[in-house]
Amino acid sequence: MTDLSGQLLDFDYSLVLPEIIAVLFAMIVVGADAFKVQLKLPSQIALALTIVGIVCALVSSLTIGLNHDGNFAGLIILDSFTTFFRVLFYGVTLTIVLGSHEYISKYVSHIGEFYGLLILATLGAVLMASAGELLTAYLGIELLSFSLYIAVSLTKGDLRSNEASLKYVLLGGVASASLLYGLSLLYGVSGSTDYSEIAAALSGSVSDLEPTLLLGLVMIIVGLGFKASAVPFHMWTPDAYEGAPIPVTAYLSATSKAATVAILLRWFGGPLLPIAGDWQMIFSALAVATMVVGNLVALQQTNIKRLLAYSSIGQMGYMLMAVVAVGSGYVDIATSGVLVHLAGYIITNILVFVGVTHFFNNEESEEISAFKGLAQTSPYLALLITAGLFSLAGMPLLVGFFTKFILFQAIVSAGHLGLVVVAVVASTVSLYYYLMVIRQMYLYEPEDSSKKLSVTTSGYLTTLVLFIAMVVLGLWGAPLYAVADTAATSLF
């Protein structure tokens, strides 16, 4: 079959096998959980099927990524960049499910639907990273968004969860409308939704359509700014993080952010790169505002989930600097740097969230003051959370230091020393509010010193793997950089 231009379309369904597996297992999980009584299935059938489905999708992603290269009908691009994010997204989902399934069983309503939504959200994130044209990417954004709108509201008996979901869906609808309008204007200027054809059109003379193009560009940045929690489009983030079930908060801070970074790199390092002069200063301003506001407002937080929400906003500011560097023509090193930092951030952040999840399973509190004396009641959890927070701050010997160093070095190489100065100051500020949590754990006595907090076997295994990865990659990050560099090279 050919497209309108006569180009032969490749409908090799093996290229999208991981996504086919994800869709099938999402339906199977929901159906099995709905009819488990009638079919006399085990109570944990939804969990078991979710793990099997994600593992199958992850293994097929690695297998296909190592042996194939091309595209599916011009809609989905299969390259090392896609494989990097496929493995990252499915790996994050698997880790969250394994590390938090006790919490999910106890505090989340409609468990089958919850797991199905997580799988579909992951599918949407993969489409965002792998899309080869605008409409496929937009469908991925909406699949991710709508799945998370519902997942945020599924905490049992917590009115904050419903409030968070309402705020998220209302503001998300406005952002999606802005994004779609911007994409329609971009299509009107370029005459195509295909990335390569858009790049070719914008490389030519578009002076007659400059106002339309600029308006579309602004609307696109507004829409993606919401997804990225970039200041000033971040106001939904702390409420959504606080009200959502903790595993969903972890998912929002990891996969949702990573998917947005992927689509920013695809769009602004590809079809929109010829007009970098029109958007580079906008991203510079967004990066500075996001780093400054995220880290300063975090100083005032008393709830651990809200603190981590503003921490993730600050981290997104660091990653937005890479988009600025891409606009300066330093595409490879900026992309490599941000992919390295993204991977390190996700490993660290998931470790902290799994630790917080197991703390909540015992104490049923999200207040920072509740962590008082944790070093005595659970030395293991205190160590994990402390190491994770230090890594987020960028302390040496942990992966956070290595990845920030690589990212900041790439930004300096691109000639944006001022941005890096702001980022270093913001990182220094972040150390203070991370130390507020650590102080509670180590410098205060617990209210009940005889109480010992428990961690499940799956919790131990998950956190131990993440902790080892965080330390090993901090000391020897060359393999991670090599993988990120390969992904960046394939993209450009």
For the segment 416-469, what is each residue's pLDDT rounded down to a tens digit?
999 999 999 999 999 999 999 999 999 988 877 777 888 888 889 999 999 999
Is residue 472's pLDDT more than 90?
Answer: yes
Is residue 290's pLDDT more than 70?
Answer: yes
What pLDDT score was predicted for residue 29?
Answer: 93
What pLDDT score was predicted for residue 3?
Answer: 53
Range 220-248 average pLDDT: 90
Q: Are 382 and 375 in contact (CB under 8 A)?
A: yes
Write out the two tokens for 104: 């999910």
Return the higher-pLDDT residue of 307 and 207. Answer: 307
Mean pLDDT rounded to a whole number for the chain: 89
Q: Is residue 51 part of a domain?
A: yes
Instruction: Point out the least confidently predicted range of 31-40, 120-129, 342-351.
Output: 31-40
Q: Which domain holds residue 290?
A: 13-491
Q: Is residue 475 part of a domain?
A: yes
What pLDDT score was predicted for residue 6?
Answer: 45
Range 220-245 average pLDDT: 90
What pLDDT score was predicted for residue 12?
Answer: 78
Q: Is residue 3 part of a domain?
A: no
Whole-Å CA distances, 490 to 128, 373, 387: 17, 49, 34
Alpha helices in 444-456 (DSSP H): none
pLDDT category at 9 given cuts 50, 70, 90 is low
Range 263-284 average pLDDT: 90
Helix (H) or strand (E) holding 74: none
Total residues found in the chain within this entry: 492
Q: Is residue 2 part of a domain?
A: no
Q: Which of 394, 401, 471, 470 is nearest to 431 (CA)?
A: 394
d(CA 261, CA 88): 13
What pLDDT score was predicted for residue 464?
Answer: 94
d(CA 56, CA 62): 10
Is residue 335's pLDDT more than 80?
Answer: yes
Q: Is residue 279 part of a domain?
A: yes
* Widest pairwise Cα distance in the chain: 75
CA-angle at 236, arms to 230 and 240, nearest 5°: 120
Q: Which of 201, 202, 191, 97 is nearest to 151 (CA)?
A: 97
Q: Are 325 and 334 in contact (CB under 8 A)?
A: yes
Q: Is residue 156 part of a domain?
A: yes
pLDDT category at 4 given cuts 50, 70, 90 is very low
Write out the two tokens for 115: 């797991």
Per the structure, the count of domains in the chain is 1
CA-angle at 224, arms to 223 and 230, nearest 5°: 105
76 contacts: CB under 8 Å, gap ≥ 6: 15, 16, 82, 127, 130, 131, 132, 136
d(CA 113, CA 372): 36
Whole-Å CA distances, 398 to 131, 139, 384, 393, 468: 33, 37, 12, 10, 10
| pLDDT tens digits, 355-408 | 999 999 888 888 999 999 899 989 999 999 999 999 999 998 899 999 999 999
Percent of the chain predicted with pLDDT > 90: 60
Q: Are 455 and 307 in contact (CB under 8 A)?
A: no
Range 99-119 average pLDDT: 89
Q: Is residue 1 part of a domain?
A: no
d(CA 339, CA 258): 9
Identify any residues that bridge with 303 across adjacent strands, giving them in sequence order.
367
Please report how the helices 276-298 and 257-268 are oriented relative to each other, as an axis angle in degrees rounded to 10. 160
Q: Which DSSP category does 155 fall into?
A: B
| pLDDT tens digits, 139-185 | 999 999 999 999 998 887 777 888 888 888 888 889 999 999 999 99
Burial of residue 352 (CB within 10 Å: 0-12, 13-18, 19+) is buried
Q: Is residue 115 part of a domain?
A: yes
What pLDDT score was predicted for residue 10?
Answer: 67
Range 324-331 average pLDDT: 86
Is residue 8's pLDDT more than 60?
Answer: no
Q: What 3-state DSSP class applies to 3?
A: coil
Give pairs for 435-439: CB < 8 Å, separation 24+. 436/368, 437/304, 437/307, 437/368, 437/371, 437/385, 437/389, 438/385, 438/386, 438/389, 438/390
Label residues 274-288 b or e (16+ Cβ within 10 Å = b): bbbebbbebbbebbb
